[in-house]
Amino acid sequence: MNFLRNLLAAIIGCLIAFGIMFVMFLVLAALIGQGDDTVVVKDNSVLEIQLQTPINDYVGMDESNPFAGLFNVNQGLDEILHAIRVAKQDNKIKGISLNNNVLMAGLSQTQAIRDALTDFGESGKFIYAYGDFYTQKDYYLASAANEVFLNPVGAMDFKGLSTEVLFFKDLQEKTGIKMEVIRHGKYKSAVEPFLANEMSEANRTQIKELLDALWQSMLTNISESRDISVEDLNHIADTLGTRTSKYAALSGLIDEVVYFDEYESMIKEKLGIDTAKDINYVPISDYIRTAGKIKINSGKNKIAVIYAQGEIWYGEGGSDVIGQGIINDALKKAREDEDVKAIVLRVNSPGGSALASDIIWREIEITKQSKPVVVSMGDVAASGGYYIAAGADKIFAEPTTITGSIGVFGTIPNISELAENIGVNAEQVGTNKNSVDYSLFEPMNDSFRSNVLEGIEATYETFLDRVAQGRGITTAQADSLAQGRVWSGVDAKRLGLVDELGGLDEAIAAAAKMVDLDNYGIRKLPKYKSDFERLMEDLGGATSKSKETIIQQEIGAEAYAILKEIKMAMQNKGIQARMPFTLNIK
């Protein structure tokens, strides 16, 4: 028996040792392969833009970190935009080939890339776009090109925006697992999925108005690029006028229907090279590394750009979760840096913990006493995302930003019905009247509900006060814009929830103007650990990300999204200032 036990231990030890040696070999090979990662751009080159991995506003790897590029999959929006701007000034880059399918970016991120392409086009260089098929978001980006091409047997989706909201009331009744919901009385659309089987008319109306505003912004941009009226674009969408490649070309949204080799022949003709020669493509993933060494903005004085992206959770936070720890550290670092003259907070968040939001809000108030703080809103800056933005000296939003959703609620899981069904009985013992205030296994009593509601009402009033104070309006005016209502950036500007429409560049320019800076550099915060460093920290077992990837592959993306939404709802702690529903616009 001892022999078998020792043999098994030896085998396991060898496997672990081989695993560590294999990982270290990969690291060494990657580091050797990185060397000088500058890409040599030849004369008469074309920047090839294929964006087929998830895009974050900011990846946040420290450039001096040798592990920064290892195993990282996501692309940074800031890096993509910077590369396009550098390419505009690069005499060796003659044009852009945009060849993209199923863009994994938010609508405002897509608009930001589109704006950068439009700016690139003003240099006189060409932009061609090709697709085997176009989703609506793909086409929205491609429409910035001088000419847009489609595969003869390809397809194009152009039918208007829609979204789907899942409801869980029946699921709760069937399983005996339910979410106890406590909300502000006027916060009508909050957590409807746990209270009803269908959408209320008020909620349907606000979502419809939001989608209409986002669609209108997209159509306005497409109309300007393609010289087709918004009315005609809506007619094309209503009649599915791009359902085949032939119809897409007749609609005017596509210039020509060609195969990819024919598309490349057109690029060669544009470049003035022989058809037998290869095109000098420079993939944007490679060009990003070269462009990163070129500073468009430079100077001793700095504008700090602090990225707050993801849901808001109480705690430290990280690259895809906003925590008061990492954000407040970044604010403090920027505040105490003598070279930093102003701060731009880039917010891309549907909200989350009201407590963490208020802690961040307070740190912004402290920072404003010494340096101006400007907020740039990304795809979404709603509920807690708006909470942390409300006190800024100035707020910018993209037309397609989803914002507002000023309101709070609490959701508490309860399995008393399930426990009863399966024969589980829980008994509680306590020292005082309220020492046992709530049990997962018992129905919520009126006293506990009343106490939680009191906290929610207080948090809501605090939220309104933060908004009123930051926007220079009365609490009653703030309340009229609140109650959980979501708005597009355009409507938020009209209502005074934001100051200006524009992207991160406009926010940075406004911050520089506040402190009279003409020449300045950009300092990005915070810095995150690389995926490889997190992998090494979790070497003893699968990381949470790898586990999630395995589950997603097994059950599919849509089922995984439902599972994740339920999981997040079950894990929410404390009073929440977050979007009342999940919108997957398509």
Domain with residue 514: its CATH number is: 3.90.226.10
- Judging by beta carbons within 10 Å of its beta carbon (0-12, 13-18, 19+), is residue 129 exposed, middle or buried? buried
Cα–Cα distance between 101 and 139 in angstroms, integer? Answer: 9
Residue 30 three-state SS = helix
Classify the C-alpha dihedral 308-310-312-316 as positive or negative: negative
- Indicate if 342 and 269 belong to the same structural domain: no
Residue 141: inside a domain, yes or no? yes
- Write down the pTM of the prediction: 0.85
Q: Nearest to residue 586, comparing CAs of 549, 561, 552?
A: 561
Per-residue 3-state assignment (H helix, E strand, C coil) for 370-401: CCCEEEEEEEEEECHHHHCCCCCCEEEECCCC
DSSP string over 401-455:
-EEE----EEEEEE-HHHHHHTT-------SSTTSS---TTSPPPHHHHHHHHHH
Could you say which of 260, 291, 322 is where a domain stops?
Answer: 291
Where is the domain boundary, 231, 261, 291? 291
CB-based contacts of 349: which residues, under 8 Å, 6+ apart?
308, 309, 310, 311, 312, 322, 380, 381, 382, 384, 385, 388
- Number of Cβ within a 10 Å radius of residue 529: 18
Q: Does residue 93 sit within a domain?
A: yes
Give long-range contacts, CB 8 A cutoff, 24+ apart: 477-483: 478/406, 479/186, 481/404, 481/406, 482/404, 482/406, 482/407, 483/184, 483/186, 483/187, 483/188, 483/406, 483/407
* Cis geometry, peptide bond prior to residue 526 (ω within 30 degrees of 0): yes
Helix axes of 77-89 and 284-291: crossing angle, nearest 10 degrees: 80
**109 CB-near residues (< 8 Å, 6+ apart):** 55, 57, 77, 378, 379
Dihedral (CA of 57, 486, 225, 104) sign:
positive
Active-site residue 527, yes or no?
Answer: no
Residues 280 and 359 in one domain: no
CA distance 530 to 69: 7
Q: Is there a domain that residue 14 lies in?
A: no
Are 264 and 345 members of one domain?
no
Q: Quick one: 550 exposed, middle or buried, by C-beta within 10 A (0-12, 13-18, 19+)?
A: exposed
Q: Which of 159, 169, 188, 527 is flagged as catalytic?
A: 188
Instruction: Please give the pLDDT value at position 542.
Output: 44
Q: How far apart are the C-alpha atoms of 23 and 26, rounded to whole Å? A: 5
280: left (phi over 0), alpha (psi -120 to 50) or beta: beta
What would the pLDDT profile of 18-70 be if each residue is shown by its tens digit? 655 655 555 554 444 454 556 889 999 999 999 988 999 999 865 554 455 55
Residues 314 and 342 in one domain: yes
Is 37 within the bounds of a domain? no
- Domain contains 472: yes
In the prediction, which pLDDT does 544 show? 47
Cβ-based burial of 9 (10 A; exposed 0-12, middle 13-18, buried ≥19) = exposed
pLDDT at 541: 45
For residue 566, being part of any structural domain is answered with: no
Residue bearing tokens 């404003």 = 368
Residues 410 and 277 in one domain: no
Q: 245, 353, 383, 405: which one is catalytic?
A: 383
Cβ atoms of 42 and 280 within 8 Å: the answer is yes
Contacts of 328 (CB under 8 A, 6+ apart): 359, 360, 363
**Are both 251 and 318 inside the same structural domain?**
no
Q: Indicate whether 287 and 340 sit together in one domain.
A: no
Residues of the chain with pLDDT under 70: 1-38, 61-73, 185-190, 530-576, 578-584, 586
pLDDT digits (tens, 9 = 90+) for 399-456: 999 999 998 888 889 999 999 899 989 898 999 888 888 888 999 988 899 999 999 9
Range of the domain at 419: 302-532+572-578
Q: How far apart are CA 114 and CA 222, in angstroms?
A: 10
Pair (276, 340) in one structural domain: no
Q: What integer pLDDT is reported at residue 358 of this predicted model? A: 97
**pLDDT score at 202:** 85
- Asked if 403 and 509 sit in the same domain, the reply is yes
Q: Hey, is 577 helix, strand or coil? A: strand
In the chain, DSSP finds a helix count (H) and a strand count (E) of 21, 22
Number of domains in the chain: 2
**Which residues, 6 or more positions from 194, have their beta carbon under 8 angstroms from its beta carbon?**
168, 169, 172, 178, 179, 181, 411, 569
Residue 485 near residue 580 (C-beta atoms within 8 A): no
Residue 389 is assigned to a structural domain of this protein: yes
In a shared domain, residues 266 and 393: no
CA torsion sign for 73, 74, 76, 77 is positive
CA distance 32 to 30: 5
Longest dimension (CA), the chain: 88
One domain, residues 253 and 308: no
Q: For the chain, first and last CA: distance in Å?
A: 61
Q: What distance in Å separates the CA atoms of residue 300 and residue 192, rounded to the nearest whole number? A: 51
Q: Which of 270, 291, 312 is the last residue of a domain?
A: 291
What is the token pair recorded at 563? 């599972």
One domain for residues 349 and 446? yes
Rounded to the nearest 5 degrees, what angle is found at the Cα of 109, between the Cα atoms of 404 and 48? Answer: 175
Q: What is the Cα–Cα distance from 260 to 560, expressed in whole angstroms? A: 35
Query: What does the alpha-carbon distance between residue 527 and residue 59 come to, in Å, rounded to a whole number?
Result: 9
In a domain, 27, yes or no: no
530 is catalytic: no
Q: Smallest Cα–Cα separation from 309: which of 570, 576, 579, 60?
A: 60
583 closest CA partner among 314, 332, 351? 351
